[in-house]
Amino acid sequence: MKKPQASPTLLLLLLAVAMFLTLLSVLMMAPLLVALASEFDTSVAVVGQLAGATAITWGITAFLIGPISDTYGRRPVLLTGVMLMGVGILGSVLAWNYGSLLGFRLLTGVAAAMIPATAIAAVADIFPPEGRGKAIGWMMSATGISATIGIAMVAFLLDVGGWRLPFYVIGGIVLVLWALLWVWFPQSQRQPGQSLSFFSHYREVGANATVWYVLAANALLQMAFLGVFSYLAANLIQTYGMTAGETVLPLALAGIGVIAGGFIGGRIADSRRRLNFLTIAALLGGLLATFVFVGPVSPWLTVTFAFGVAASLRITASVTPTLLLELAGSSRSTATGMFAVSNQIGVFGGASIGGAMLAMGGFPMVGFFCLGAAVVGGALILLKVRDPAEFLERIALREASNDPAKTTT
pLDDT digits (tens, 9 = 90+) for 143-193: 778 767 887 788 889 989 888 999 999 999 999 999 999 998 887 665 545
What letter does residue 96 receive in the DSSP assignment? -
* 8-184+205-397 carries CATH number 1.20.1250.20: yes
pLDDT score at 403: 62
The rounded distance, in Å, linking the Cα atoms of 102 and 49 is 9
What pLDDT score does 3 carry? 46
Sequence letter at residue 327: L
22 versus 337: the higher-pLDDT residue is 22
State percent of the chain over pLDDT 70. Answer: 93
Q: How many angstroms separate the CA atoms of 142 and 17, rounded?
A: 7
Domain boundaries, the chain: 8-184+205-397
63 vs 1, residue with greater confidence = 63
Chain length of the chain: 409
> pLDDT tens digits for 94-143?
888 888 888 999 999 899 889 988 998 888 888 877 778 888 888 888 87
List Cα–Cα distances, 225 to 229, 311, 312, 366, 373, in angstroms.
6, 10, 9, 11, 9
Which phi and psi (to 5°) does residue 132 adopt? -70, -40
Per the CB < 8 A criterion, the answer to whether 143 and 20 are in contact is yes
* CA-based R_g, the chain, Å: 21
**Contact assessment for residue 125 and residue 69, using Cβ atoms and an 8 Å cutoff:** no
Q: Is the pLDDT of residue 409 over 60?
A: no
Q: Environment class of residue 305 by beta-carbon count within 10 Å: exposed (0-12), middle (13-18) or buried (19+)?
A: buried
Among 406, 237, 206, residue whose Cα is nearest residue 324? 206
| Inter-helix orientation angle 332-348/116-126, to 10° | 140
Beta carbons of 94 and 163 less than 8 angstroms apart = no
CA 270 to chain centre: 20
CA torsion angle for 172, 173, 174, 176 (degrees, to 10)?
90
pLDDT of residue 305: 94
| Per-residue pLDDT, 182 | 92
CA distance 409 to 407: 6
Mean pLDDT over residues 20-38, rounded? 86
